[in-house]
Structure 1
Amino acid sequence: MFRAHYINLLQQYSVPLIVGVIAGLVFANVDIHAYEEMVDFHIFGDEAKIFGKAVTVHFLINEIFMVFFFGIATKEITESVLPGGALNPIRKALNPLMGTLGGVFGPAGTFFLLAWIFYGGSGDFGTVANGWGIPTATDIALAWLVARVIFGNGHPAINFLLLLAVADDAIGLGIIAVFYPDPDHPVAPSWLLLVVTGMVAAYAMRRFGVRSWPFYILIAGGLSWVGLVKSGIEPALALVVIVPFLPGHSNGHDLYQDDSYELEHGHPSDESDVREPVGLQHQHAPLDDFEHQLKLPVDFGLFFFAFANAGVAFSSITEVTLIVIMALIVGKAIGITLFSWVGVKLGFPLPEGMGVRHLFVAAIIAGLGLTVALFVAGKAYEDPVFQDPAKMGAVLSAGAALIAFIFGRILKVKDGTDK
């Protein structure tokens, strides 16, 4: 029990991810050449390739391991739209969804504006502007962690922020798929038929009552991954179209979630999977099993993702770094607050007990874009001259936590809910 509790704490507080970021930054600034050799190491030799892609450490992390990261993110999105989920019925989610739109348009607009201010008169504007997708997503785990500290357990602003972050990441996945294809492999739409084949296979397995999630992932997910690789679209998204076919519970409730914990902490199932299963009198749904059995290795695997992607030299800080930071923190804060406020005026109220002051602080917290922002930065820019500063901006967006803490104290958001 002690070991499980200890591991659970490491997961909840995103320790592997944070340690990976720190380790990558330290290693890269001590010996950047050794760091690059490690990340770009060809595990099976220089000649080994998978569908034309060199089998490097970076490839295995970003295009295979991240398949499971985005798969688990998709599980949360899928669960939220089931009856009883946060997005069902849709009316109670309308204000957070309005905020989500602001959390995309605000950062993207800020990014374009600052890119024009700094690079509008140069030939680099088009290249820099291609990074507009970097600040559009929110790091769900870090946002939850910071929100708990600032608002206190059980505050309605926490669930509001988590709902917004889940919807935010759903849009982020779409942005990656549509706007950031593989530059080394021109888009070949005909190969998407293989992705459709994977979806059909997943649907057929569901119809025939297959209850083992590995069959869905290995067969349908494998077809989807190959189809995306060959089509030139980001293969890390392979499970995004497969996971929704995994049979789940109609009430949207995760059987591995302890009800008392959720009521006390206001925290969804994605952070509590190390606890012992409850409700064992029911059969576990494959959708639940998929997350329960993979969440631990994925959470700890984020150490390697962070190490391989956050290792940039501090000397790489440029205007692009500032653009990313401002788009994430300022763009998110303004966009989410404005759009949610408009939602209130249109008749879509904030959750009971949550006021504009809580909304504003939650919007600042949403500027924590670390994981997905790092991933998109690697896709938006091939040239390290732009990629490294953008990644540094994603890392430094962690400053949103300090800013939110300061505003939280000023606005006294921890003093209770608004009536």
Structure 2
Amino acid sequence: MYRVSPFVRHFGQALLAGIALATLWLTLSPASYYDAIEWRIAELSLPLWMAPFPVALTPMGIVSEGLMALFLFFVGKELWEAIRLERGALAGRRAGVPLGAMIGGWIGAVLVWLVSSALFETALEASTGTGWPLPIGSDVVLCYLFGRLIFGNGHPALHLLLLITIANDIVGLTVVGLVYPAAGLRLAWLGLVVLAVGLVWLFFARLAHPELSEREHRRAFALWPYVLAGAMSWLGVVLAGLPGALGLLPLVPVIPHADRAFGLFAEAEEFLHDPLNRLAHLLVRPLAVVLFLFGLTRGGVDVLALAPTTGTVLLACWLGKPLGVVVGAVFAARGLGFDLPQGVRLRDLLIVAMISGISFTVPVLALDSAVPGGAMAEAARLGLVISLLAGAAAFLLARALRRGHVRAGRGRT
């Protein structure tokens, strides 16, 4: 089985370091922390036809709306390859159980959020069900850290976990952007995205066909056209009122890529030279810095912010999503006749479902749009950080299941 490249572990360590530093800073000096992350570096006076509200550049905004687009591009590339390429994890019948687990997790998280928020008042300014898309998102790198600790680097259950969490991140942020646009949707600006994708495909990407000349092939493999098209696509997404972190995703399908999948974040991809993998390789080191900055600017937790919203977040993440993952996967396997991924057993699926209850990066990105600010947002952020304990619970469950399996084996002998 293929091995996951070690840089994913480094991403998780960088993110945790940023969260820890932010929480310490917020605890010791909350005023200076908020002054730093909300410092208005510049005020942009844009015409109303571009932006209906004043735009201020802040460290938090630059990281969340700009730099995190690089991270979503990076993980989106893995999801696209899983769908599109030969032997991809979502190609053909391989997609059955993972899709069942994903959809089940989304439904379970949303239903529990809606029920919980109806039973317990979350905030005076919030209507029932406010923020329901928030628990759809997950956290690829932190789920990977715990998954690798439990399963090891080459276990197929780890790859199922990565697949589910990548899809959760992209779908979760997209749903939040559509349901709670920051400044109202102006979808006409998506024409700029279509133009960027169309131009780069017409004049560059389509020339990567092996039957064309070497000169055209070299032109298709140049990176600068995709960088320029990415900037144009990002601008179109932002002006359309959608989260800037989604801005580079529309470009992923048209960039020339490898002929077959080697697995999610596979070490073998480091030796590939197609434009999509080369762009991903160039992002590896910068993304560790980006995730540290994201943890620093968005991960500061007020430990006194405990409120009903905190419980709603945890119920959706710890109960709704894992239960939905298991039910969806089992239904796909036994109800629809799809096979579990080779090497994945039912107890592995239970561990994967529990780890998927970790929710931080994308839900925090969506926090300001999905729930009212102030106390409710801080209570939700606290719940998202506490959700990391699902990893520790999964580790303990895995040890208990392993011991039970060993004892059962000894009993049979």
Corresponding residue to 2:376 among 369, 373, 386: 386
- Cα distance change, pair 292–98 in 1 and its aligned pair in 2 (3 A): same
- Cα distance change, pair 400–199 in 1 and its aligned pair in 2 (3 A): same
Equivalent position of 1:261 in the other structure: none
Summarize deviations over 1:375-405 as a string: whole Å, max 9, x none.
1213212412211111111111101011111
Q: Contact 2:60/2:297 (CA < 8 Å) preserved in 1?
A: yes
What is the Cα deviation at residue 124 of structure 1?
4.3
Q: Distance in 2 between matches of 1:300 and 1:180?
A: 28
Kindly report the root-mean-square deviation, in angstroms, between the aligned alpha carbons of the 2 structures.
2.5
Q: Distance in 2 between matches of 1:378 and 1:109?
A: 21
Equivalent position of 2:221 in the other structure: 211
1:316 aligns with 2:305: yes
Q: Distance in 1 between matches of 2:368 and 2:284?
A: 24
Q: Contact 2:11/2:291 (CA < 8 Å) preserved in 1?
A: no
What is the Cα deviation at residue 134 of structure 1?
1.8
Unaligned runs of 5+ in 2: 208-218, 407-413
What SS does structure 1 have at the residue aligned with 2:304?
Answer: helix
Equivalent position of 1:403 in the other structure: 393
1:290 aligns with 2:260: no
Summarize deviations over 1:171-209 as a string: whole Å, max 9, x none.
224313322311xx2222222211211221232231244
Q: Give the residue type in structure 1 aligned to 2:226.
A: Y
What is the Cα deviation at residue 369 of structure 1?
1.4
Q: Distance in 2 between matches of 1:331 and 1:293?
A: 37
- Cα distance change, pair 118–193 in 1 and its aligned pair in 2 (3 A): same
- Cα distance change, pair 340–246 in 1 and its aligned pair in 2 (3 A): same
Equivalent position of 2:346 in the other structure: 356
What is the Cα deviation at residue 18 of structure 1?
0.3
Corresponding residue to 1:231 among 237, 240, 265: 240
Q: Distance in 2 between matches of 1:403 and 1:137?
A: 20
Corresponding residue to 2:264 among 262, 265, 268: 268
What is the Cα deviation at residue 125 of structure 1?
4.7
Summarize deviations over 1:100-139 as a string: whole Å, max 9, x none.
001111111111111011028x85452x623222211221
Summarize deviations over 1:19-59 as a string: whole Å, max 9, x none.
10111111111111110100011224xx4456541011111
Q: Give the residue type in structure 2 aligned to 1:58.
A: M
What is the Cα deviation at residue 8 of structure 1?
4.9
What is the Cα deviation at residue 150 of structure 1?
1.5
Q: Distance in 2 between matches of 1:375 and 1:88?
A: 26
What is the Cα deviation at residue 339 of structure 1?
1.0
Q: Distance in 2 between matches of 1:95 and 1:141?
A: 22
The TM-score with structure 2 as length reference comes to 0.86
- Cα distance change, pair 140–193 in 1 and its aligned pair in 2 (3 A): same
Equivalent position of 2:323 in the other structure: 334
Equivalent position of 2:56 in the other structure: 54
Q: Contact 1:180/1:234 (CA < 8 Å) preserved in 2?
A: no
Q: Distance in 2 between matches of 1:102 and 1:409?
A: 26
Q: Give the residue type in structure 1 aligned to 2:399.
A: R
What is the Cα deviation at residue 10 of structure 1?
8.2
Q: Decide which moves more: 12-21 or 166-175.
A: 166-175
Equivalent position of 1:299 in the other structure: 288
Q: Decide which moves more: 398-407 or 166-175.
A: 166-175
Q: Distance in 2 between matches of 1:211 and 1:19?
A: 36
Q: Give the residue type in structure 1 aligned to 2:287.
A: V
- Cα distance change, pair 8–67 in 1 and its aligned pair in 2 (3 A): same
Q: Contact 1:98/1:339 (CA < 8 Å) preserved in 2?
A: yes
What SS does structure 2 have at the residue aligned with 1:76?
Answer: helix
Identity of aligned residues (%): 27
What is the Cα deviation at residue 413 of structure 1?
8.1
Q: Contact 2:68/2:290 (CA < 8 Å) preserved in 1?
A: no
Equivalent position of 1:258 in the other structure: none
- Cα distance change, pair 61–85 in 1 and its aligned pair in 2 (3 A): farther
Summarize deviations over 1:132-168 as a string: whole Å, max 9, x none.
2221122122222211222234332212212222332
Q: Distance in 2 between matches of 1:78 and 1:91?
A: 16
Equivalent position of 2:259 in the other structure: 250
Q: Contact 1:131/1:380 (CA < 8 Å) preserved in 2?
A: yes
Equivalent position of 1:259 in the other structure: none
Equivalent position of 2:271 in the other structure: 278
Q: Give the residue type in structure 1 aligned to 2:235.
A: V
What is the Cα deviation at residue 348 of structure 1?
1.2
What SS does structure 2 have at the residue aligned with 1:216?
Answer: helix
Unaligned runs of 5+ in 1: 1-6, 254-266
Correspondence 1:52-91 to 2 at 5 A: 52-91=54-93
Corresponding residue to 1:39 among 37, 40, 63: 37
The TM-score with structure 1 as length reference comes to 0.85
Q: Contact 1:67/1:236 (CA < 8 Å) preserved in 2?
A: yes
Q: Distance in 2 between matches of 1:186 and 1:370?
A: 25
